Structure 1
Amino acid sequence: MTAPDPHDILGDSTALRDLLAMAGPETAPRILRQMHSDLTACAGLLAPALATGDRATIRAQTHVLIALAGTIGAMRLHTCAIDLNAAAHAQDPVAIAAQSGPLMADLTGLVALLASRLPKGEAAA
């Protein structure tokens, strides 16, 4: 699977840009680091949960994604997270499997995109 285009992940990135502008130059890097950290942690918990069918963790982590993705304007990821959360609540393994690939691709792409916007030397390993 190829990495999603950054424009597909954040559209025109207006929401993220506006959020960081409102935060100001001193706070914006901290917010960006925290979003990157939170999304990295979410991906690290979500991937094994999807592999094992751990619906409680899927529901918890998609809740995080719904909030973060919506806040920064990653609307396709936001929609996938809503759909995956609903599938986990419905205990629908077919729908969970169908949503997993696109969601993880966008989540991985978003983590990489945010890492690329961190101040030099701050990209997390």
Structure 2
Amino acid sequence: MVQGRANDQINRNGEKISAEEVEDLLLGHEAVFDAVVVSIPDARLGERACAFVQPRGAAPSAASLRRYMRGREVAAFKIPDEIRFVDGFATTAVGKISRRQLREILRAEVLAEEKETQR
């Protein structure tokens, strides 16, 4: 089954967030070259949003990106819970950014954190 961008939604505490919408907003920042938003599993919220940002030159701070989004009057629940800066993105065989790989990285980290807190 082929899934398209319509399925790139994050369900954060019952609120639906379009990953594409948030990516487009981030791409409007002068210091952002590329951005990908994916979900992170969250026990309390269901899912949280994580933005992977490839900067254009020096990376802006996560706080400055959040301020930028608030300045665009973005609803607070759409502002990514986590922002990570990357040098580039892994791609699929057809040259698209591998969102699956980004999700797998995040899920592995969440599982590791959960195991650590259970000790």
TM-score (norm 2): 0.27
In proportion to residue count, which structure has more helix? 1
In proportion to residue count, which structure has more strand? 2
Structure possessing the higher relative contact order (Cα contacts under 8 Å, 6 or more residues apart): 1
TM-score (norm 1): 0.27
